[in-house]
Amino acid sequence: MAEQKRRYEVLERLRQAEGLVSGGELAEELGVSRTAVWKQIAALQEEGYQIESVSNKGYILRESAVFTGHEISRRLQTHTVGQNLIFLETVDSTNEYAKKAAADGEPDGTVIVARQQTKGRGRLSRKFESPSDSGVYLTILLRPEISLSDLNLVTLMTAVAAADTVEQLCGVCPGIKWTNDLYMKERKICGILTECSAEGETGRVSYAAVGIGMNLLQEQDDFPEELREIAGSVRMGSGKAVAPADYAAALLRNFERYFYDENFPDNRAEFLEKYREGLFFLGERVEVRGLRESYFAEALDIDAEGRLLVRREDGSITALHSGEISIRFGKENR
């Protein structure tokens, strides 16, 4: 920990200098040897920071869009979410890690971020492709005072926070596909997976793990064959290369605003309105594919519980819960 702290002190000193700083100067300021400084510089280079060493003169930081826990933390403007931040170079799934972290007693608002996931998961154990340095894969651990029935609203609220963040950083707002996907130019750029542990009798949630996977920097050819026609990224959708650290920090801020600053879920009117505005298929014919039956229906609206209201072909109206359906749109599987 002390080593890490010193490493980032070296980094911040170089950042402030906006030019060359000699090894001797750094050593003196931090009260360590030149060799110790050199070691920290090497460690920072290893993390991806472009630090040049100019012989007999010192070190200079070439600003680069590095993705580390430190870069998220220094951008973070939150009170709770992400104040306990665990950054992993590689992990099977940040949601899996979060569940273990919950069992180990990590606090409310803990965030687990990974540079890459080897077994990133979607719903129903589907795979979520999570290559390194292309996107943001993170899980927010919550210990909320809410019941199981409100958990669906957490997913919807998260979709709004994730979409707001894209809009703030690149000026284009993604569309939303109920319940948990964001789209740009008819390609999926983001998926959300909310998992929880709850008491069977009371329905009280003991913790929730809200996982968000956002594609930022991929080009079409970067996706594996099977996703090439259906997946996209913020870069493909807006032409902007958003740095993962910028996205992660802004997302956590937006999430906090909805979840902590505004009395969730009593503030549902605000985010449900935005959610509704983002939905790109209201009024359209969709295919509802449930566990027991599949049918066509017209998508009408979202109700106050976040359920999708559809009009079936016999005219009856059904309120769909999340998780029990998937939807296909016309010939395109958006």
Residue ranges binding ligand BT5 (CB under 6 A): 93-95, 117, 120-123, 126-130, 137-139, 180-181, 188, 191-193, 211-213, 215, 227, 231
CB-based contacts of 273, cutoff 8 Å, min separation 6: none
Residue type present at position 282: L
Are the beta carbons of 59 and 20 closer than 8 angstroms?
yes
Q: Which residue has the tokens 């026609």?
A: 229
Are the beta carbons of 183 and 175 closer than 8 angstroms?
yes
Instruction: For the CB of residue 98, give the shortest distance to ligand BT5 in the complex, in Å.
Output: 8
Neighbour count for residue 105 (Cβ, 10 Å)? 7
Question: Is omega for the bond preceding 265 within 30 degrees of 0, making it cis?
Answer: yes
Instruction: For the CB of residue 314, give the shortest distance to ligand BT5 in the complex, in Å.
Output: 28
Instruction: For the CB of residue 162, give the shortest distance to ligand BT5 in the complex, in Å.
Output: 11
CB-nearest residue to ligand BT5:
191
Are the beta carbons of 212 and 138 closer than 8 angstroms?
yes
Instruction: For the CB of residue 149, give the shortest distance to ligand BT5 in the complex, in Å.
Output: 21
Q: Which is nearer to ligand BT5, 26 or 250 (CB)?
A: 250
Q: Which is nearer to ligand BT5, 7 or 188 (CB)?
A: 188
Give, to the nearest 10 degrees, the angle between helix 23-30 and helix 2-17.
130
Q: Which is nearer to ligand BT5, 8 or 137 (CB)?
A: 137
Instruction: For the CB of residue 127, give the shortest distance to ligand BT5 in the complex, in Å.
Output: 6
Question: Is omega for the bond preceding 318 within 30 degrees of 0, making it cis?
Answer: no
Q: Which is nearer to ligand BT5, 137 or 264 (CB)?
A: 137
Q: Which is nearer to ligand BT5, 213 or 278 (CB)?
A: 213
